[in-house]
Amino acid sequence: MNALQNVAVMAARRGGAILIRHIPKLEKLNVEKKGHNDFVSDADRAAEAAVIEVIKNHYPDHAILAEESGQQGDSDTVWIIDPLDGTTNFLHGFPQFCVSVGVQVKGRMEAAAVYDPMRQDLFAAARGDGATLNDRKIRVSGRKEMDFALIGTGFPFRQADSEMGPYLEMLGKVVKNTAGVRRPGAAALDLCYVAAGRLDGFWETGLKSWDVAAGSLIIREAGGIVSGLDGSENYLDSGHILCGTPKVYAGLAKLCAHEIKAILRKL
């Protein structure tokens, strides 16, 4: 484990511990609505402050890009943080949420940690060193056939009016041609599930860089493929993503080529 990855792990664990402390008092949390189906709570802010504190204790000169506090500092090294991915799940006591911490150096992802405090699952990766789950190496599944593949997705809740039509067409086609589709509600964990072979592929639109920065590196280090829906490398900026095992990724792109084009026209 290199130095950046080690700090990412420590920061993610610290944030997760803060979230767990807030679970007994969910009904008393101050919750604000940032947008349609987009919320922030005292727990998000407290976890983010804890994550940033760990990072700044080790790297005071590095820049921060965090969901709740935005951009801080100017450096070639940027820590991309989602202190609580799956806020809606968390606020309802639905146990599918995580802390996501990624490190980008000169525009390239170098290290990552995603921590699920409910299951105490820690996914981590460093560029060129592979990916792990609780310190054990992980690989994407060996799934090749689409009809046996389990696929994850996320609903286009931020711009549902414009995107829902073509999204549902793609969803319908994937449902008919695979073993099933799951929508757990925390994109960073969904990506890690692809890396660990729990899912064989995943797609979603309307994401932010902090939703996918860490998970995308973990998938790649586990042998998977990640891109935008259009096959590009700019998914951190575009907010749309397609990933999976090499065969399932290619299968999804081919199966849903028409629907993907329709979705992209709406974005």
Q: Which fold has domain 146-266?
A: D-Maltodextrin-Binding Protein; domain 2 (3.40.190)
Residues of the chain with CATH 3.30.540.10: 3-138
List, in sequence order, every beta strand (DSSP E) within 154-228: 180-182, 201-204, 225-227
In terms of pLDDT, which residue wins out, 246 or 157?
A: 246
Residues of the chain with CATH 3.40.190.80: 146-266
Nearest-angstrom CA–CA distance, 129 and 49: 29
Q: Which residues contact 192 (CB under 8 A, 6 or more apart)?
A: 98, 114, 121, 123, 133, 215, 218, 219
pLDDT(38) > 70: no
Question: Which pLDDT score, from 0 to 100, does residue 160 have?
Answer: 58
Average pLDDT of the chain is 93
pLDDT bin (cut points 50, 70, 90) of residue 39 is: low
Neighbours of 155 (CB within 10 A): 17
The whole model's pTM is what? 0.95
Question: Which pLDDT score, from 0 to 100, does residue 51 have?
Answer: 97
CATH number assigned to the domain covering 3-138: 3.30.540.10
Asked if residues 231 and 253 have their Cβ atoms less than 8 Å apart, the reply is yes
Residue % of the chain over a pLDDT of 70: 95
What are the φ and ψ backbone dihedral angles of 119, each rounded to 5 degrees? -100, -5
Tokens of 31: 């919750």
